[in-house]
Amino acid sequence: MNIHPIDWLIPAVIVALMIGICAVAHVLNKSVADFLAANRMGRRYLLAVGQGMAGMGAISIAANFEKYYQARPSAL
Protein backbone atom coordinates (compact mmCIF):
# COMPACT_ATOMS: atom_id res chain seq x y z
CA MET A 1 0.00 0.00 0.00
CA ASN A 2 1.48 3.31 -1.09
CA ILE A 3 0.57 6.42 0.82
CA HIS A 4 0.81 9.55 -1.27
CA PRO A 5 1.31 13.09 0.09
CA ILE A 6 -2.37 13.89 -0.45
CA ASP A 7 -3.23 10.99 1.85
CA TRP A 8 -1.03 12.48 4.59
CA LEU A 9 -2.67 15.86 4.07
CA ILE A 10 -6.07 14.69 5.33
CA PRO A 11 -4.98 13.66 8.87
CA ALA A 12 -2.55 16.61 9.01
CA VAL A 13 -5.39 19.07 8.38
CA ILE A 14 -7.56 17.38 11.00
CA VAL A 15 -4.78 17.44 13.61
CA ALA A 16 -3.98 21.09 12.80
CA LEU A 17 -7.66 21.99 13.17
CA MET A 18 -7.87 20.22 16.53
CA ILE A 19 -4.72 21.96 17.78
CA GLY A 20 -6.18 25.31 16.71
CA ILE A 21 -9.45 24.63 18.52
CA CYS A 22 -7.56 23.57 21.64
CA ALA A 23 -5.43 26.72 21.55
CA VAL A 24 -8.53 28.94 21.36
CA ALA A 25 -10.28 26.95 24.11
CA HIS A 26 -7.18 27.21 26.31
CA VAL A 27 -7.23 31.00 26.04
CA LEU A 28 -10.96 31.20 26.82
CA ASN A 29 -10.90 28.82 29.81
CA LYS A 30 -9.65 30.62 32.90
CA SER A 31 -11.02 28.36 35.64
CA VAL A 32 -12.71 25.04 36.29
CA ALA A 33 -16.10 26.80 36.24
CA ASP A 34 -15.35 28.02 32.72
CA PHE A 35 -14.68 24.48 31.59
CA LEU A 36 -17.50 22.68 33.39
CA ALA A 37 -20.36 25.17 33.39
CA ALA A 38 -19.52 27.83 30.79
CA ASN A 39 -18.44 30.16 33.61
CA ARG A 40 -21.85 29.54 35.16
CA MET A 41 -23.49 31.48 32.35
CA GLY A 42 -25.10 28.41 30.81
CA ARG A 43 -28.70 27.88 31.75
CA ARG A 44 -30.02 24.63 33.15
CA TYR A 45 -31.26 23.35 29.78
CA LEU A 46 -27.97 24.12 28.03
CA LEU A 47 -25.94 22.30 30.68
CA ALA A 48 -28.29 19.29 30.68
CA VAL A 49 -28.15 18.98 26.90
CA GLY A 50 -24.37 19.33 26.99
CA GLN A 51 -24.13 16.47 29.49
CA GLY A 52 -26.39 14.32 27.33
CA MET A 53 -24.36 14.99 24.21
CA ALA A 54 -21.13 14.21 26.03
CA GLY A 55 -22.49 10.72 26.77
CA MET A 56 -23.67 10.22 23.19
CA GLY A 57 -20.59 9.05 21.35
CA ALA A 58 -19.92 6.47 18.70
CA ILE A 59 -18.74 3.95 21.30
CA SER A 60 -21.93 4.47 23.35
CA ILE A 61 -24.11 3.86 20.32
CA ALA A 62 -22.15 0.72 19.41
CA ALA A 63 -22.39 -0.52 23.01
CA ASN A 64 -26.16 -0.05 23.08
CA PHE A 65 -26.57 -1.88 19.78
CA GLU A 66 -24.49 -4.74 21.16
CA LYS A 67 -26.47 -4.77 24.41
CA TYR A 68 -29.80 -5.05 22.59
CA TYR A 69 -28.40 -7.60 20.17
CA GLN A 70 -27.27 -9.84 23.04
CA ALA A 71 -30.36 -9.35 25.22
CA ARG A 72 -32.96 -9.67 22.46
CA PRO A 73 -35.41 -6.97 23.61
CA SER A 74 -39.02 -8.04 24.01
CA ALA A 75 -41.73 -6.94 21.59
CA LEU A 76 -43.70 -3.91 22.64
pTM summary value:
0.47
| Distance of alpha carbon 59 from alpha carbon 55, whole angstroms | 9
Looking at the structure of the chain, the number of domains it has is 1
25: left (phi over 0), alpha (psi -120 to 50) or beta: alpha
Burial class (CB in 10 A: 0-12, 13-18, 19+), 9: exposed
Query: What are the pLDDT tens digits along the chain (76 aa)?
Result: 788 989 999 999 999 999 999 999 888 888 877 777 666 666 677 767 776 777 778 888 888 888 888 877 665 5
Q: What pLDDT does 57 receive?
A: 80
In a domain, 21, yes or no: yes
76 in a structural domain: no
User: 45 lies in a domain?
Assistant: yes
- Reference 34, options 45, 44, 26; nearest CA is 26
Which domain does 61 fall in, by range?
5-71
| Domain presence at residue 10 | yes
